[in-house]
Amino acid sequence: MEGILPLLKPAGLTSHDCVFRLRKILKTKKVGHTGTLDPDVTGVLPICIGKATKVAEYITDAGKAYEGEVTIGYTTTTEDASGETVAREPVTRVIHREEILQVFQSLTGEIEQTPPMFSAVKVGGVRLYEYARKGIEVERPTRKITIYSIELLDDRNEFSGETIKFKFKVSCSKGTYIRTLAVMIGEMLGYPAHMSYLQRVQSASYSLEDCLTFDEIEEHMEAGTISSVLRPLESALSHLPKLIINDKVAEKVKNGALLQMPEHLKTSNGPIIAETEDGMALAIYAKHPNKPDLFKPVKVLRNDLDEKGTV
């Protein structure tokens, strides 16, 4: 079994829980997820199966989109609705739509974030949430992330009340904490805030419309039609530039050969997909560190041993 299975992750499960359950349903051990989603968060979680586990990191590195809700008026230990309230300040003024849009504009582009204590980021080899559960506060590394766009999904012009809620949609780079973004939005409006709801609506090229529930996956397994809903390994790499190769070069690629850099890819700094003329991805290449006119293989995806079933 090989391919990408876009899972509609339910609330209450970690990403690892989803993998564990799918290993049982699919009756295969070679299953991996493409980046953690908090237990309360629902939505798109692409699952890599078989040989497709080789490309999991490229889905993780691609952009994501979320729809969420910010609650203004109090913040929590976890920066989301599951935590305990740590700061409360009732909203005493009307917040206007234009203010929120200005905040969104100022947060668009490359910004810095400090990961929350309840997160999987490691400091000193230990996950931050492990420190947090013991009540230990540690210095956290600030990281640069990119917000491509933020859209207000509420059509009101004025927001009032002791607590204020509004929904938004954000497209962002990997490593973005939407919980922290919600807190930042509140701070810029002058009040404590937290993220009260979140759903991932897109991950790389996979959207909510592509996703299947656990029940639907089980039905396909029972009917013997699971292969019909698996996305090809190549779908995980569709956002990357491609180098189309002929059959002769393909044999060399399968064995990890260096490749001459074509003119149209000389400005590419990231990974390149070596793909056959019929659309099969064979390997992932990158610029050679010492030979500027050559690409070197980073990861061979398919080779003759794979095809013979001996690997």
Among all residues, which ones are annotated catalytic? Answer: 38
Amino acid at 278: D
What is the phi/psi pair of residue 23, to 5°? -60, -40
User: What's the gap between Cα 95 and its chain centre?
Assistant: 32
At position 12, the amino acid (one-letter code) is G
**3-state class (DSSP) for residue 180:** helix
**Based on the number of CB atoms within 10 Å of its own CB, is 29 exposed (0-12), middle (13-18) or buried (19 or more)?**
exposed
Do the beta carbons of residue 182 and residue 83 sit within 8 Å? no
Q: Which long-range contacts (CB under 8 A, 24 or more apart) does 88-95 make?
A: 88/192, 89/191, 89/192, 90/162, 90/163, 91/160, 91/161, 91/162, 91/163, 91/164, 91/191, 93/160, 94/158, 94/159, 94/160, 95/158, 95/159, 95/160, 95/164, 95/189
Residues for the chain: how many in total?
311
Backbone angles phi, psi at 69, to 5 degrees: -135, 135
Give the Å distances, CA to CA, from 17 to 13, 21, 32, 247.
6, 6, 11, 41
